[in-house]
Structure 1
Amino acid sequence: MDLENVTAIGTAGWSIPKAYTDQFPSSGSHLERYAQRFNAVEINTSFYRPHRVTTYARWAASVPEQFRFAVKIPRSITHERLLENADELLKRFLEEVSGLEQKLGILLLQLPPSLVFQTNTTGKFLELLRRAALANVVCEPRHPSWFAPSVDALLADLRIARVAADPAPVPEASEPGGWRGLSYYRLHGSPKIYYSPYSPDALDALARRLSAEARDGLPNWCIFDNTANYAAAGDALSTCERLQRVTRRWV
């Protein structure tokens, strides 16, 4: 099985820490070098500021054909408007990311911990987003109200996958939910969020899980967001190596 068509592994952003420079090509832009080792990346800068269509197009042209981008939906929509009256902002964002063309793999909707699920507001936005977006959509809610069976059923109906997050704000958040057409693991580092690297045992278990899902034909993404102390690149590289070892045992 071609893992690159099933499992996407990468980090939040494409910086290459000095400790790992010898594991990447020496020439090219940071993104070009990064894309020679990983097949996916999560763009988080879109959360803070817009990027031009031409910027996205330039990024898309810098990576191999099978490489895919996940793009975080802006905080102006999620944290400032709280998903209300955001139609024009969403339209503008989708026009910008269209520069990625077929290399746009995921739109990531990360929600503030205080945002309660409400059918008349948040539910309507999810419907709008799903109608307007051509790419797959994943949602990372953090308020307990989003983990009710009725909300999970709505996400499934809308073909929106719920992120499996670590650390999990509630126990249910540690497992993928919503639409089960794909899994998206977003690993922020634990015990110290954004800083801690993952233990060898944790990475072994992760590789086994990704491999099992790939064997069943379930597309999955694994993005390391523990970037504050440069652990993400090392964890992603180690996961790639482990995944190859695990997969060779059942191919």
Structure 2
Amino acid sequence: MQDDLFGAPPAPAPQPPTEPKPHAKESAARVKGVQPAPADDALRTLAAQLPASLRLGTSSWSYPGWDGLVWDDSYSEQVLARKGLAAYAQHPLLRCVGIDRGFYRPLSASEFAQYAAQVPQDFRFVVKAPSLVTDALVRSQDGRGREANPGFLNGELAARHFTLPALEGLGARTGALVFQLSPLPWHQIERLPEVLERLRAMLAAQPPLAGAPDAVLAVEVRDGEWLAPEHAEHFADVLKSTGASYCLGLHARMPPLSEQLPLLRRLWPGPLVARWNLNPVHGARGYEEAERLYAPYNRIHDPAPEEIALLARTLAGVCARGGQNAFVTISNHAEGSAPLTARRLAEAVVAGLAGNGETAGDSPG
């Protein structure tokens, strides 16, 4: 105490050193958990107007800049990574979320179960498969391909290190299990029919999606050649024959959404999976630029109204009129703030349904 320094009796013996005190908000989070931002009536009304089979979400959840949008206050990224999911799942619009970390290291069933335990029964996960089976190359730390990956499109490895653990851990909360195939080396693009048959064998080797009524296998690609006229029919046949879906990839490496929808129509009827990864204004390798410009991800920087409008029309056709499930995850790199983009997309879906009286065509797009 301060008075002890000015002639008071000797101070008690010093206590053993203690750990530095955490930030007050982080300390509170350990006690009561991360708390959600209060939802206004307009947001709740908007969520209630969406088709029940449409699940919107973000690609992850540990962003401090979502203070006031998703969280009630400012928390560190570390606290949000550990404790933020339960609060995220209370947001009226966010009924699914992406788990991408398994791309770098396969996750165990117990790790998936820890995620599932934090969310309501109606919540779903969109999970990215490990690069162990989705990248044709073994890569160095800087992302450069070093050598051919012997596990690429290996069905047994995919089942053991991805599909089975995800189903066991997530159970009925399993949404889309996404095999996002990294850009192929040119020698494989030139032999794409052979790669497609390897993909067919890998998908066919996956176990039944038992205990997960909404679960779907989906394939996302990062080379436009997969959608070229000479390959699109073959690609659609591979997916349809194995019960898999095509994952719309809104990314600068891929053709625009309008040029991807024909493949989805070939698979109709069926569920829709979409991952809005990156605004095309930044180019195919623009993640770093988007991070620099958009952080802390609390406002819209580069609106993409055409993508919003077309995706909203597609979702209305798939969910409200077609009666199919849809899972859409949105990155902060799409427009600057994933929760705000989710709200813009939801508003466009609801406005479209109201304007058309739910009488438009029943196929995607």
| TM superposition score category, shorter chain reference | 0.7 to 0.9
- Residue 175 of structure 2: aligned partner: 105
Offset of residue 144 of structure 1 = 4.3
- Pick aligned residue for 2:248 from 135, 159, 164: 164
Amino acid at match of 2:222: R
- Residue 139 of structure 1: aligned partner: 219
CA distance in 2, matches of 1:201, 1:132: 36
SS in 1 for 2:55: strand
CA distance in 2, matches of 1:201, 1:169: 16
- Residue 24 of structure 2: aligned partner: none
Offset of residue 118 of structure 1 = 4.7
Is 1:179 aligned with 2:226?
no
Query: Is the 8 Å Cα contact of residues 54 and 99 (structure 1) preserved in structure 2?
Result: yes
- Residue 191 of structure 1: aligned partner: 281
Deviations 1:137-176 (A, max 9, x none): 1111233442212222221222221122223524686325
- What count of residue pairs does the alignment treat as equivalent? 250
> Unpaired runs of 5+ in structure 1?
none
SS in 2 for 1:208: helix
Query: Is the 8 Å Cα contact of residues 142 and 170 (structure 1) preserved in structure 2?
Result: no
TM-score, normalised via structure 1 length: 0.83
CA distance in 1, matches of 2:353, 2:120: 23
* Cα root mean square deviation, aligned: 3.0
Offset of residue 58 of structure 1 = 1.5
- Residue 161 of structure 2: aligned partner: 92
Offset of residue 83 of structure 1 = 2.2
Query: Is the 8 Å Cα contact of residues 154 and 202 (structure 2) preserved in structure 1?
Result: no
- Residue 76 of structure 1: aligned partner: 132
Alignment of 1:11-50 (within 5 A): 11-18=58-65, 20-24=66-70, 26=72, 29-37=83-91, 38-50=94-106
Describe the shift of the 1:52–1:212 C-alpha distance in structure 2 as closer, same or farther (beyond 3 A).
same
Single out whichever of 72-81 and 25-34 deviates more from structure 2.
25-34
Amino acid at match of 1:191: V
TM-score, normalised via structure 2 length: 0.59
CA distance in 2, matches of 1:50, 1:154: 25
Query: Is the 8 Å Cα contact of residues 32 and 63 (structure 1) preserved in structure 2?
Result: yes
- Residue 211 of structure 1: aligned partner: 316
Offset of residue 25 of structure 1 = 5.2
- Residue 240 of structure 1: aligned partner: 346
SS in 1 for 2:281: coil
Query: Is the 8 Å Cα contact of residues 146 and 152 (structure 1) preserved in structure 2?
Result: no
> Unpaired runs of 5+ in structure 2?
1-47, 74-79, 139-148, 210-214, 291-300, 359-365
Describe the shift of the 1:197–1:87 C-alpha distance in structure 2 as closer, same or farther (beyond 3 A).
farther
Single out whichever of 105-114 and 212-221 deviates more from structure 2.
212-221
Query: Which structure has the larger Rg?
Result: 2
- Pick aligned residue for 1:51 from 100, 107, 111: 107
Query: Is the 8 Å Cα contact of residues 303 and 335 (structure 2) preserved in structure 1?
Result: no
- Residue 35 of structure 2: aligned partner: none
Offset of residue 34 of structure 1 = 1.3
CA distance in 2, matches of 1:112, 1:72: 12
Query: Is the 8 Å Cα contact of residues 177 and 216 (structure 2) preserved in structure 1?
Result: yes
